[in-house]
Chain A
Amino acid sequence: MDRRQRRRFGGRGMALLAALGVWLAALATGDGALAVTGGSAPADASYGYVVKVNVGGNRGCTGVKLAEQLVATSKECFQAGSTAPVNGPPTLASTVTTRPDQGSAVQTVAVDHLFVRDDRNLVVAHLAGRLLGLRGDAPVASAAPAAGQTLRVLGFGRTATEWVPDLPHTGQFSVQDVSATGIGLAPAAADGAVCKGDAGGPVIRENGDGTANLVAVVSTSWQGGCFDATGTRRDATATRVDGLAEWVNQFKEIVLTGVVQAGTESGCLVMTVGADTYNLVGGDAAVVKAGATVHVTGYRAPVATGTCTQGTRFKITSADTVLTLFGTVQKGLENCLTLTSGDVTYHLFGGDRSVVKVGARLTITGYTSTADFSLCGQGPNLNVLTAAAPKAVSLRAHANTKYVTADNAGASALVANRTAIGVWETFDEIDLGGGNIALQAHANNNYVTADNAGANPLIANRGAIGPWETFLLVPNADGSVSLKAGANGKYVSADNAGASPLIANRTAIGVWEEFDLINS
């Protein structure tokens, strides 16, 4: 329908006087329930995902929950004087407040970061806390709106009689026109309008199966019939959100596990996970430090200007040091699974139960949790990230292309003098984390040690893993590996071109220090 046809000519002055009269009447009775946005009652409590947004104490808008910590609203709401909002923490103290009828106390949560859409009147606000227990949801629509469609608008804005309602009101609107980033709306009912305070309110498509999708958020309105508004035009505009699910999803909380590295710029920390590099911001500095393997929870948080140029800025909300433990899974008290490493017995929490089971010898990576699991009181909780059994390997010396053997069933030192792989030439490679391994000889089930702090040749005669039994697995450019003994920091050599036993006494890698690591 053409805008001209929608105009209502009559009653302009009448409306103004009536509005004043209603205001005074409302003041007299305290009754202000008539909704401007259509209907006479507040929106049903099932629209719990509609939230109130307050910026700096003097700007009020509506928002729509996209995730527990993400709310979409109008970018204009965060305008500070003539300064438009930019990516980063809001310049004005801002909060999001839930409806009072969601079964728990009203939740008011601070906004700690803004994701600003440059091409339209839209921001996604990240919250310092989670919005929990709100009823309903409206995932971002994939289908575009079309002229003539009927959509529902919800907002905490003024009604015909009420200035700052505690509950949102709602009405149906029809789509008048659609552009690349916006839509025009006209109320479906004669008393419908979008009013002050509705900015950022959701425009949803209600589907036949009872679900709803977020199509747009309200942008501007002529506010006809709104409390203390003087005009009569009731058409409004909204900012399209459909198709932006991917844009929104990148701001949701994710977890990363990896090694923290110093960035190019001073004071910057980065982590590379797969093909993505992140610039880590925040988190406990004692945990998140260069060289540490960490498990971090957080969100991508780009800022307009930053000193760290490497990777996507990632704001950490919680960080844990990743531990690597090796041992045998035991059945602990209360039938909980435990693993003892060093002096500490951990309660294993999570992980693949077909792998993490009683009796399994595993290298487990995980992080300790302070959460109280009442059923398993034994030891600190270890949240399992990965669990893997040792793998059987053989070593072939580049010195003479012969296999390393735990000669004489392990009674003699390791030497590279076999041409085929048998039991004596097979070792369990045990991942100790941080690139370190231990080798357990199949010949006698003992661990290989750089005996006498590396002064004596390697021999498989130890029952436990200590520094002498720890070797750093150093990858070489040609695909081979070298072993750097934890005992003395020297490389293991197939000495005398392999004729002598293996010994950790070289400070550089040459051919004698190269081995092919072959999975058996």
Chain B
Amino acid sequence: MDPALRFRVPAVALAAAVVMGGVLTGSGSAYSANTAVAVEDPPPSIVEDFAYPQAAQILAQYTVKLISGDGGILFVDCATPPVGDIGLISVYTTAPIGADGLGRLCFKVTKASGHIELEVPAVYEIRGDGRKTGTGHKTTAIVRTDAGQLPPVTVDPSGSTQVGVGTSGPPATLLQLVVTP
């Protein structure tokens, strides 16, 4: 077992218990119990594993399964305002997921290049983040159907690109978005 994991598990479990119980004042004693063991143990690993942060909360709240990434593409609230001509990459799915359950997921590009690994079923359209022709990030999408993984889909940076049932094809699951300079 990964030594880091050994320490991480109880910490998360404890935190979850505290939050779910909503008892903020009760944390003192729990904390003491935790550290009584921890004093002899080394602290957890600080190697960045690129697992998507707060993936569990996001899955619970938005029913969106985010797996990993490099920080260059982030899952955001669709109400996030655009910056100049650059808005958000929108992913549309027939699945009832996302903030409002209407099947729209938004992603913000925060670096010159980046990637995000995820699993979004029944995607039918991906809208690039350029708000007018000639703008937007170069974006590629990897999707999979029951028949297997398809060749990378080049997304129109400033328009909509149909995938899966949007192309009258079989349902497609979005696995990865990649942005390149």
Hey, which bits of chain A sit against chain B, CB under 8 A? 3-4, 7, 9, 11-14, 16-17, 20, 23-24, 27-30, 58-61, 74, 76-77, 79, 157-158, 162-166, 194-199, 218-223, 227-228, 230-233, 235-237
Contacts and interface: CB of A to CB of B under 8 A. Distances in A.
Contacts of B77: 24, 27-28
Contacts of A162: 71
A328 B4 CA distance: 69
Given A20-B54, A166-B111, A12 B44 contact: no
Interface residues of B, number: 42
A16 B54 CA distance: 11
B11 interface: yes
Contacts of A232: 31
B19 interface: yes
B46 A199 contact: yes
Contact of A236 (B24, B43, B70, B71): B43
Contacts of B11: 230-231
B54 A233 contact: no
B59 to A, nearest CB: 14
A23 B54 contact: yes
A53 to B, nearest CB: 9
Contacts of A221: 43-44, 46
A485 to B, nearest CB: 68
Given A9-B27, A199-B46, A16 B19 contact: yes
A504 B53 CA distance: 84
B48 A158 contact: yes
Given A163-B71, A220-B4, 20 more contacts: A9-B28, A13-B24, A14-B24, A20-B57, A28-B79, A28-B80, A30-B108, A59-B47, A60-B48, A61-B47, A61-B48, A196-B48, A196-B49, A199-B47, A199-B48, A220-B43, A222-B44, A223-B44, A232-B31, A233-B35
Give the interface centre of B15, B24, B46, B48 by most chain A CB atoms within 10 Å.
B46
A76 B19 contact: no
B151 interface: no
Given A27-B80, A28-B79, A237 B42 contact: yes
Interface in B1-48: 4, 11-12, 14-15, 18-19, 22-24, 27-28, 31, 35, 38-39, 42-48
Contact of A199 (B27, B28, B45, B80): B45
A308 B79 CA distance: 64
Interface string B57-74: 100000000001011101
